A and B are shown apart, each in its own frame.
Chain A
């Protein structure tokens, strides 16, 4: 079965770059432009991995993750958070919300693909 990844970022060009890389690696990709948009995509369909930016308008990444963890169908879904700054306090907050995987952004696409491959194989 194809593995589905939800990519949440407010930059459309970034989402496209990532989506192309992921699709090429054999994953299905769903995109969302902010946390609220992303929550709307969590409608019961199976999602094997969530990749989310931290800083986004409307609803930021951590609020989204915390909300997602409340949903029975997604509370154990693996999450990769993308960080721009070292932001230790954000990391601590993320850790409390159940996030363990962080990838620093900007990154080389292979770095993200490599991180994804550690959690979900296409």
Chain B
């Protein structure tokens, strides 16, 4: 009826039948209030509406015969208008009155439509406003509950404020058809994700939707439960009543073709969604399986039963395969991060007036899902820096004989048990002198210390190097490179900088393949078990008795001196009286020896994080349970190597200083007058 009144009014408007418009407008308002439940329907009101209906008929008849003359507004006309207007206080002149009321007890969960609106990022840019659709929905009923979500950008520095980051979930009380409700979104349904569940949808429909929602389905279900969207346990439709998957059966039947396609796209693809927690549980379980297989293997060896040993050997190979498969489940292509860059590079370079070509290499390189989120921010920061400070503007590039367009390359690849991400630009390269000057100014550098190029570049990672930017740090801008380094180190990774003045620089991030299980090497020091990550070990050898400089803690390895670190020293144990061994460890370009008591052999270690008590322990990154049930610490090789390098530097310096002193003393004594 509302619709008819509305249509009469609209059509009347088209033909400029003012009398008819004014009358139907008031009528429409009364009907609208009735529909919204603001007006109780009683006998006098029904009588009034019937009278109006008759009157409308008169008016229409009049216009049909004499379209040119206005309808004579007789006593009946005025009576009805006055009566109608009495019912229209606070008449909703626009649908803006669709503001939600937090609770509508009469609309229990089953009586409402539930709409899930995930807007396309470009929605605003296409000229749409979700608020318009929400207001429009008010034509079909009332929004009894609405939840608005805002997805914050990774940083508040370089984001596009015209990107739509909103999404809505709402309960709509409405008598309209599915097609009518879906039609509200006809212009955005191709790009945005619009899901509509009709009243009395069963629990499974919500579960299916949650699964398609991304993230943890449980979180979504919990949120919907709290909002009262989910049917109560009692009303969960028995399968007899809903033999079809309700998602297809009910909500989709009237929804236009395009929507159906997008559903098919999700369901027909080769992917299934798994809750991350389930995957983690599986990986944990596999980790335990790996441990107990190792233990069986040890026992089997002790029995000296060759058949038994053979069988367990096969078993452990299979288990290793399962471990790899399980870990693989968590691997996702790094394109998940890379894909964000074209837009960002475009935006940033446009703002800076630079022309930059972005080259993405190895986007299908796989990386542990849990690293994705933690890697995004540091990468964004490095890329922004490269565009801002690395690549010159077109003029100075041309002056140097470079192409006007700068080149920025993101490259991911696997390299000896690590994932490497290179961020390279063909810009001006790192300014060594400027870095040194700034480091000195900030007091981060001892006077007169000689640094190699990589060491100089590394200064930018020191906390406090970028103090000038700290003012805006808070708002998410100018997070210094020290934060980047911290983020990478938290992933057990490392950053290196390669740079050639005038030709560009490369930041190289090395990350472990996975955070969960490592192939390790079991060693002992002072009767305790320790595990070294195997992928960072170059070789093992007896502690040389010659070719060693104990003062400077250096070993002569083939053609060069490398620093070493004694774990006995590190853990404050007394020196060993038995022959020791050297494990040569390598991380990136650096090498160092690690002195241990005994070499035991390969082991698979499921990494367990250290308790807070041990978190500050130097040189240790985690712990693991051995096949024999004992705890072993996992050594943090990058940290140990760094420690060894630092100590070597200091000791070499001290030694040189004492040698110089010694020779000066000699010289002095030589020149002393006799």
Contact = CB atoms under 8 A, between A and B. Distances in A.
B13 A100 contact: no
Interface stretch (B68-76, B128-136, B595-603): B128-136
A113 interface: yes
B13 A24 contact: yes
- Interface secondary structure of B, over-half rule: loop
A76 B136 contact: no
B10 A100 contact: no
Contacts of A113: 10
Given A100-B188, A110-B7, A120 B132 contact: yes
A113 B10 CA distance: 8
A25 B12 CA distance: 11
Contact of A78 (B11, B127, B135): B127
A115 B185 CA distance: 10
A118 B312 CA distance: 68
B14 interface: yes
Nearest to B191: A100
Interface string A67-99: 000000000111100000000000000000010
Interface in A54-73: none
- The contact size tier of chain B is 20 to 34
A118 B123 CA distance: 14
A1 interface: no
Interface in B173-230: 184, 186-188, 190-191
B125 interface: yes
Nearest to A111: B10
Contacts of B127: 76-79, 98, 100, 119
B368 to A, nearest CB: 38
A79 B187 CA distance: 11
B415 to A, nearest CB: 41
A3 B126 CA distance: 18
A122 interface: yes
Nearest to B21: A24
Contacts of A20: 13-14, 16
Interface in B1-52: 6-7, 10-11, 13-14, 16, 21
B26 to A, nearest CB: 14
Given A110-B10, A110-B11, A118 B16 contact: no
Q: Which of B6, B132, B136, B190 has the most CB of A within 10 A?
A: B132
Interface residues of A, number: 23
Contact of B186 (A21, A109, A118): A118
Contacts of B10: 21, 24-25, 109-110, 113
Contacts of A26: 94
A98 B187 contact: no
A101 B133 CA distance: 13
Nearest to B187: A101
Q: Which of B6, B10, B124, B191 has the most CB of A within 10 A?
A: B10
B95 interface: yes
A11 interface: no
A12 interface: no
A118 B126 contact: no
Contacts of A119: 127-129, 132, 187
Contacts of B162: 76
Nearest to B135: A121
B139 interface: yes
Contacts of A42: none
Contact of A21 (B14, B96, B135, B190): B14
Contacts of B135: 121
Contacts of A120: 132
A117 B11 CA distance: 16
A25 B10 CA distance: 8
A110 B7 CA distance: 7
Interface string B109-134: 00000000000000011111100110
Contacts of B186: 118
Nearest to A109: B14
24 contacts: A21-B14, A24-B10, A76-B126, A78-B126, A78-B127, A79-B127, A98-B125, A98-B127, A100-B127, A101-B187, A109-B10, A109-B11, A109-B14, A117-B95, A117-B139, A118-B132, A118-B133, A118-B184, A119-B129, A119-B132, A119-B187, A121-B96, A121-B132, A121-B135
Given A76-B162, A117-B136, A118-B133, 18 more contacts: A21-B10, A24-B10, A24-B13, A24-B21, A76-B127, A78-B127, A98-B125, A98-B127, A101-B187, A109-B11, A109-B13, A109-B14, A117-B95, A118-B186, A118-B187, A120-B132, A121-B94, A122-B94
Can you list the 7 inter-chain pairs with the closest CB atoms, starting with the nearest? A78-B127, A24-B13, A110-B10, A101-B187, A109-B14, A100-B126, A118-B136
